[in-house]
A = this chain, B = another copy of it.
Amino acid sequence: MISKDSVNKNQQWQELVFKSFLQILRAPYGDFGSIWNLANVINDEDSLRETITLLSCHAPAKSAIQSRFLLGMIDLQQLNCLPKETLGYIYSEHMLRNGLKLIPCQTVKNDFDYLMVHLTEVHDIWHVVINADTSMAGETKLQAFVAAQLRNSRFSFAMLAKNLLKASVEDLVLAEQLMNALTAGWLLGKQSQPIFGIRWDELWEVPLTKLQEQLAILPKISS
């Protein structure tokens, strides 16, 4: 039997989620304060633990979570000297062309921290790996891909709902683009191999299309 106290606590939590959701709706896209706030409020321990368990069914994620490996600082100028078809070159181009900065390493005290820090670190690599640009449609494609890969991330689903509602009141042309992007990202995330925890630092010199074929992001071309 569920106690009254537990029902009340759940209702209080839901109201906090809705409050953070309203805050992020009113903020401009990419407002890190509101995004961080929503993530902190909506991600409860039970669902995070379940995410870790689901991810750990796959070897690269299991190993990454156990060792808590971080990519750390990446030399973009060095990657930019690699052949043009490589992951390293294309990733460095994506970063330099869009004026994006690497996010400094953060402290990891437990598996939940690691989940967030790893996802933050690989955000722009995943952009490149799934061919998602930095437009709102590209961000939504990536968010849907992440949602499909994590399977039970309250935060990812809520961010998709936020993008869709925000566009539906602010920009209807964008809303249609976001639905196309969300659909594409979700299907890709389901079809692709699990990519959480991959050691991208060992793959910079691999041609991007070869990697995408191996990960089932692109269909395999029989040779």
Question: Interface range on chain A: under 10, 10 to 19, 20 to 34, or 35 or more?
Answer: 35 or more
Q: Known contacts A21-B165, A161-B161, A186-B183; is A172 also within 8 Å of B148 by CB?
A: no
Q: How far is the CA of A81 from the CA of B42 in the complex (A)?
A: 51
Among A1-48, those with CB < 8 Å from B are: 13-14, 17-18, 21-22, 25-26, 42, 47
A42 lies within 8 A of B161 (CB)? no
A152 lies within 8 A of B169 (CB)? no
Q: How far is the CA of A147 from the CA of B161 in the complex (A)?
A: 15
Q: How far is the CA of A193 from the CA of B200 in the complex (A)?
A: 44
> Is A179's beta carbon under 8 Å from chain B?
yes
> Is A130's beta carbon under 8 Å from chain B?
no
Min CB distance A136 to B, Å, is: 14
B172 lies within 8 A of A168 (CB)? no
Min CB distance A137 to B, Å, is: 14
Q: How far is the CA of A144 from the CA of B25 in the complex (A)?
A: 21
One of B21, B165, B179 near A158 (C-beta < 8 A):
B165
Which residues of chain B have C-beta atoms less than 8 A from A176's C-beta?
151-152
Chain B CB count within 10 A is highest, among A21, A42, A151, A170, for A21
One of B13, B154, B160, B164 near A172 (C-beta < 8 A):
B154
A172 lies within 8 A of B18 (CB)? no
Which residues of chain B have C-beta atoms less than 8 A from A42's C-beta?
168-169
Which residues of chain B have C-beta atoms less than 8 A from A94's C-beta?
none
Query: Which positions in A face B, CB cutoff 8 Å?
Result: 13-14, 17-18, 21-22, 25-26, 42, 47, 50, 144, 147-148, 151-152, 154, 157-158, 160-162, 164-165, 167-170, 172-173, 175-176, 179-180, 182-183, 186-187
Known pairs A18-B26, A152-B175; list 7 more (Cβ under 8 Å).
A17-B169, A22-B22, A154-B169, A157-B165, A157-B175, A160-B161, A183-B187
